[in-house]
Amino acid sequence: MSNDEEKKYVICAKCGKKVEKGEEINYKIRSIRNFGRGGKRMKFCSGECAKNMQFAME
């Protein structure tokens, strides 16, 4: 894979699936234990992956 092709995709933080840039969902995971009070923004392929990651962190 060339460097240009890698820049077109974002990898989901939960399942590892490649998603086109601009199609990803940015979601703030709120977990004081893991990321402190501010939480951490992550990129996901779908709302379901984001929801499952939030649930796993609680």
Distances (CA, A) of 4 to 19, 34, 36, 44, 58: 15, 33, 35, 21, 37
Q: What would the pLDDT profile of 1-19 be if each residue is shown by its tens digit? A: 556 665 799 999 999 999 9
Q: What is the bridge-based pairing of β-strands 25-29 and 18-20?
A: unpaired
The CATH number of 3-57, from 1.10.3420, 2.30.170, 2.60.40, 1.25.40, is 2.30.170
Two structure tokens written together for 47: 């709302």
Domain extents in the chain: 3-57
In the structure, what pLDDT confidence band is assigned to residue 55 with cuts at 50, 70 and 90? very high
CA atoms of 30 and 42, how far apart (whole Å) = 11
Q: What would the pLDDT profile of 19-48 be if each residue is shown by its tens digit? A: 999 999 999 999 888 888 889 999 999 999
